[in-house]
Structure 1
Amino acid sequence: MTPVNILIVDDREENIIALEALLKRDDIKMFSTTSPNEALKIAWETNIAIALVDVQMPEMDGFELVEMLKSNPRTKDILVIFVTAISKEAKYAVKGFGAGAVDYLYKPLDPYITSAKVDSFVQLARTQAEIKQKNDELQDYAIVVKNSADIITSVDAQSLRIVNINPTVEKIMGFRPDELVGKSIVDLAIDDHRAAFRKKLGEIIKDNLSYAIFEFKFETFDKRVIWIECRASYRNKIIFLNISDISPQKSYQEQLIKSKENAEYSKKVKETFLANMSHELRTPVNGIIGITSLLRKTGLTDQQKGMLDLLDTSSKSLLGVINDVLDISKIEAGKFSIVRTANNVYDIVNSVFNLLKFKADENNIEFLLDIEEEVPQYLMLDSLRLNQILMNLLSNALKFTERGYVKLKITVLQKHNDKVKIKFSVEDTGIGIPADRLNRIFESFEQAEEDTVSKYGGTGLGLTIVKKLAELKGGELTVSSQVGRGSTFNFVNWYTISLKPKDKQTPKTDKVLPPFNNVRVLVAEDNMVNQFMLSKILKDWNVEVEMVDNGRKVIEKLNNKDYDIILMDTHMPEMNGYQAAKTIRVDFEEPKRSIPIISLSAASYDHEQQEALSAGMNDVLSKPFQPYQLHEKISRLLRVDA
């Protein structure tokens, strides 16, 4: 507890000592002097609450001293008690009270009366100090409320009418405070929000909430509509509201939502376009590869075989470009998955190396492979994607190296338990990359130089795919290069060491496929080349084939005839494959309802293949495909031993 300061003024020292002894206690701090002038100084410099002043003193009597204290704003609130030995006549008492005293003590002092009076005034001084503190705080709060950037108002809980409101309401809503006092706060809300606003205020009163936050629309004086955020508190039948104008934030949120919707729409449009492009590009490529395969089985001259080889190389090159574009799109759409299984790293690396060695030999480029002995043979990895990374890096190195060497080096950087950190390094002595373009070579459709495409060809997508694949696999791709001296690409990643996987039986693509006896197949395909190819392949397997070019005709045919299996393209005019499959599964009776359906799709996205299965198709075969793959799926669905 803060002590109360008491000042004792008496011209006789013994009187001061007597009073100090009488009043001494822990919650009182006493100051004393025999000089009125010294008393004025102490009162000015110290927060004196109570003064015990002797009336009769030389230099300046007590009345004069008190008049001077009361005339000064800093000391005017001191509680003065006169201590006197003069007559108790009324005229002296009146004079003392007129000077500003609150009470008298008469000498000789009665200890009990003196102690009791001083104690009561100590309590009074404490109360006054608390009141002053509260008043100061209220004044501070009043300043804060008056100058707040938000509307602050108190509302009668019974009538919901405004009791007080700060001037900020004029800045935000255009109403003067005196125009709103006595009006219902609910009337500030727009018509559509008034019922909900009233209900919300009712809930705050009913639940006696000390804090609630909510948003509504208010209408301003000039009929503008603004979004407001209310922070409400209920106490003593009054609702206190802090109201903020959040229209800018709402506008920004709406813009973000609109931008997000536009982005999602654009993404959907892009995916649809790429799905269609995938179908439109892969379908004719499938036809070219299929026809090439069929032609090889006919009698050919060496010249014709050479032409077929060129045709096969060109179609596969085109398919590679299509796959590059679609891979980039799938990665950007977040629909590219990495599937890790146990694989022989040496087999993958040697396969890529041997495939590209002929190209190096043709160009008289030394092609080197260096695998550190510490590299584990079997690792958990996505063999297809590692193959893709190495093929792109090595193909690039060979393309841009005119003399010297290209080297693939594989080393172990770190090992921890069953984890190993491996670096795949592709080093060449090629043309190199300028320093100012090192970062740009990983961007889509970018090349190291403006004339690179005309000199060396390519789409500029290879390194972009490698970079994105490396990141998807959790690895890191870096490059260092000097113009005219060559480049080094490093791919570093952690792998889990695995045991040797079980041997996989790889199908022989050139083996003679057994026929299907008494099997009727309905094929839905709108591309004429693919129609011819499928018809030829199926007839070679002794299959009875009927061909249609859209889903509606599939339904018509199935209504009038029985089939053992349907091969159906997904993208067709009038009715696509998804719609046709759903119709069969819903509208037909058994056994036709359960007829096996294989989707012959050029789809590149996993969700498109899932969509085919969800539509009721039994399996999916992606274009382009090899005849043995189609034979395997038909055999499985018809439960025929191949």
Structure 2
Amino acid sequence: MIKNSIIDNNNSFLINALSCMADGVIAVDMDGKIVFLNSAAEGITGWSSKEAKNENFNTVFPLINISTGEKVKSPIDNVIKLGKSVGLTKNSGLITKDNRKKYISANSSPIKDDLGNFTGIVVVFRDITRIRSIELELINKEHGFKALFNSVPVGVVILDENEIVYAVNNCVLKFLNIKKTQIIGKAVGNGFCCKNSFDDERGCGYGENCKSCSLRKAITFAEKFNVSTNMEFNNVVVIENKEIEVWLKLSITPVYFGEKRVIVAVLMDIKDRKNKEIELRKAKEEAEAASKAKSEFLANMSHEIRTPLNGLVGMVDLTLLTDLNCEQKENLMTAKSCTNSLLKVINDILDFSKLEAGKLVIENINFDIKNLIEEIIKANSSTALAKQIELNYTFSSTIPQFLLGDPNRLRQVLNNLINNAIKFTEHGEISLKVKNIETIDEHVKLEFSITDTGIGISEENINTIFESFSQVDGSSTRTVGGTGLGLAISKQLTEIMGGNLLVKSKLGQGSSFYFVLMFPVGKELKKDIKQTFKINKVTENLNILLVEDDKLNQQVIGRMLKERGYLVDIAGNGLEAIKMYENKKYDIILMDIQMPVMNGIETTKIIREKEIENHIPIIAITAYALKGDKEKFLSKGMDDYIPKPVKMDKLFNVIESHTVSSKEEDLKNFSIRFDENGEVEFFNDESRILNKEKPILMKELAYSIEELNKALQEKQLSSIERLANKIKSLSDEINIYELKDISFKVELSARRGNLNEAVHYAKKVSEEFEILKKSILDI
């Protein structure tokens, strides 16, 4: 028993001191009976000092593990057993008198007398429920943060201010296939670095190779400027000498925790995305290769069909020039019609292929809409007349004459629809109507409709009429031909032009195809100056070199030229042509493109290099007839282009447009002068005005010559060649052939790299232009 000298009721000072303590204090004798309990202990346990006195300690101070609910061994037993102070486990709690649970921390110590003998035990404790609740809340939040940190589908690496890896989430460990111990607490360059750091250099940021590393630059930038950076990073990362190829999307952000700054790097594994991009790129390349192969096949098919077709058409045309009886003439006209049908089939297939590949380009040029409609009606009238069908048109008077758009594609659509109408109409009429729906801000909305009194279309067929290779009459006994592509092409063309081709039809009563297109209003077109080419002393003795490898085409085109009165030599390939060009002066060369030994493009290049004085026109005559082929051949030094099959009138017009013999002949047949208003007047040899327009071409010519002189001063050969070519084209357009020849010599000199020669001829260009201006003003 504790002696009265130790705890004496008269010792008010000690009692008052213990009572003032914030911590609870309980004194227990060696029998485990409570002999003292201070005020704080009363508040914590719920027992008053009077109630607790002489009660068993475990009754007043029952302990449990709050987490598990299990009883906790009394601390006084441990003190007696061990003979020293003992504490409580972290989750220990007290069950109060009113059965509440409180987290407590306690320290139990032995009380000894002067001789060192145990006389009792003192338990000093405090209520830590509030602190422990906050602590548990923080622990729960930390667990929640860690769960979130480790569950996000992106990798997160946290570096401290010394670039030591402070934390990584599970996504990083899984991505790199490593354990935390392999990276936590290590410098980023030692635990996680690119392969460059192993080239006898220390890790990330220290080696010479690091200066060019995008990841290192991003980290340094974020540290230096305290701003986030985003990037994509591709490299081989090395973890303990194991190489792993990575494709990462990175976001590197500096974050402050109080005064402490860390770098948070968010990593997104985009390797799958990059692999898919590679696959898509490969698939795109394969698709493009397939498309190219298809285009090449179609181009070759077109070439191979057009070449024999040229011989067939040519022979028919030549035979039609001979004396024939009516039956023979009719047979030949039928053969010619068949070749035209075959040519249309080829063109339809090529157009459909371009539409399918999305490569068909719509032009936006000035055109005369009324003239276009009249030409379409005129072109189809003979076919309609042959079936005794009336073909007529109506054209709204409010429609502007000139519009901006693609007249060739509009012509193609209307021709397709009228041809179809003629095919499927046996009697009655076909009407083309062009109606002005509205005019808005210099734009007109036009409705085009083609109505026939033909066989019509059934309800089941009307939904498939615009499908590729679809035909109204698909039976083996159908009476009309065609590829079934015309309507499909027409519909796609109208859609590309901003419209939609629709149809109304009743079986046995006819059909009406219609579409609406919007056009900007255009400007008045300058009229073409057409010269009538007659066989005369200028053209009948022309020396022509025909370069053609196909024997049939040699025969056909050769006969056409001789019928015209031309003198013709024939070369079977480009090499023969060069030899003949060197040994004889020709007025013009007709050049096939695809030939053995040396093709037409190579041949043209060599001839252009050999030209010294006069420019010789070279005309491409080829079965390459796709869009863009003409521009390609002109860019290679050729002057014009005639597609096969060759039509005689086209052949003669092109030849004679490039073979005016002298400037005097030009001025005899074609003159220009300015009137009192500063406009240009064009005259033919009958002194009748053919056209009147502002001197745009002359101004453009003057400007181009001025630019040429600047390019000569700056010694820019490519610009000199380009400008000389432009002057040549402008001169040709207004029939100033002397200027055209001299500008060609400038172009040729620049192409050869001979600047002095280019300067010499350019001076003559300027002189000739001044003479021209003076002669115009003097007229």
TM-score (norm 1): 0.71
* Alpha-carbon offset, residue 251 of structure 1: 1.9
The aligned counterpart of 1:343 is 368
Q: Provide the rounded CA distance (Å) in 2 between the counterparts of 1:140 and 1:171.
A: 20
- Structure (1 or 2) with the larger CA radius of gyration: 2
The aligned counterpart of 1:567 is 590
Aligned: 1:532 with 2:555: yes
The within-5 A match list for 1:309-388 is 309-333=333-357, 334-345=359-370, 347-363=371-387, 365=389, 367=391, 369-388=393-412
**C-alpha deviations, 1:189-248, integer Å up to 9, x for none?**
775897777833432344345434222255799989554314253657865433333232
- Tell me which of 165, 171, 175 is aligned to 2:178: 175
Q: Provide the rounded CA distance (Å) in 2 between the counterparts of 1:395 and 1:261.
A: 39
- Tell me which of 225, 229, 232 is aligned to 1:214: 232
1:156 to 1:525, Cα distance in 2 relative to 1, 3 A:
farther
The aligned counterpart of 2:216 is 202
1:359 to 1:213, Cα distance in 2 relative to 1, 3 A:
closer
The within-5 A match list for 1:263-342 is 263-333=287-357, 334-342=359-367
Q: Residue type matched to 1:213 in 2?
A: M
The aligned counterpart of 1:121 is none
- Tell me which of 577, 581, 600 is aligned to 2:621: 600
The within-5 A match list for 1:414-563 is 414-451=438-475, 454-498=478-522, 501-506=525-530, 512=535, 515-516=538-539, 519-563=542-586
Q: Partner of 1:215: helix, strand, or coil?
A: strand
Aligned: 1:152 with 2:156: yes
CA contact (8 A) 1:147 1:168 kept: yes
The aligned counterpart of 1:33 is none
Q: Residue type matched to 2:150 in 1?
A: K
The aligned counterpart of 2:757 is none
CA contact (8 A) 1:67 1:100 kept: no
* Alpha-carbon offset, residue 360 of structure 1: 4.2
Q: What's the RMSD between the two structures over aligned residues?
A: 4.5
* Alpha-carbon offset, residue 256 of structure 1: 0.8
Q: Partner of 1:606: helix, strand, or coil?
A: coil
Q: Residue type matched to 1:215 in 2?
A: F
Q: Residue type matched to 2:561 in 1?
A: L
Q: Provide the rounded CA distance (Å) in 2 between the counterparts of 1:212 and 1:62.
A: 68
CA contact (8 A) 1:226 1:245 kept: no
Aligned: 1:590 with 2:604: no
Q: Residue type matched to 1:143 in 2?
A: A
Q: Provide the rounded CA distance (Å) in 1 between the counterparts of 2:343 and 2:537.
A: 29
Identity of aligned residues (%): 30
The within-5 A match list for 1:86-125 is 98-100=125-127
Q: Residue type matched to 2:181 in 1?
A: D
- Tell me which of 212, 231, 234 is aligned to 2:250: 231
The aligned counterpart of 2:257 is none
* Alpha-carbon offset, residue 77 of structure 1: 9.3
1:639 to 1:357, Cα distance in 2 relative to 1, 3 A:
closer
Q: Residue type matched to 1:326 in 2?
A: L
**C-alpha deviations, 1:480-517, integer Å up to 9, x for none?**
233344322112112344565444455658x5465537
1:77 to 1:581, Cα distance in 2 relative to 1, 3 A:
farther
Q: How many residues align?
A: 549
1:173 to 1:620, Cα distance in 2 relative to 1, 3 A:
same
Q: Residue type matched to 1:340 in 2?
A: I
**Structure having greater relative contact order (Cα 8 Å, sep ≥ 6):** 1
* Alpha-carbon offset, residue 449 of structure 1: 4.7
1:225 to 1:498, Cα distance in 2 relative to 1, 3 A:
same
The unaligned stretches of length 5 or more in structure 1 are 1-51, 79-94, 103-124
Aligned: 1:619 with 2:640: yes
Q: Provide the rounded CA distance (Å) in 2 between the counterparts of 1:453 and 1:77.
A: 101
CA contact (8 A) 1:227 1:250 kept: no
1:419 to 1:155, Cα distance in 2 relative to 1, 3 A:
closer
1:56 to 1:139, Cα distance in 2 relative to 1, 3 A:
closer
CA contact (8 A) 1:189 1:217 kept: no
**C-alpha deviations, 1:30-69, integer Å up to 9, x for none?**
xxxxxxxxxxxxxxxxxxxxxx999899x97699999999
The aligned counterpart of 1:105 is none
Q: Provide the rounded CA distance (Å) in 1 between the counterparts of 2:473 and 2:198.
A: 66
1:478 to 1:229, Cα distance in 2 relative to 1, 3 A:
same
Q: Partner of 1:229: helix, strand, or coil?
A: strand
* Alpha-carbon offset, residue 305 of structure 1: 2.5
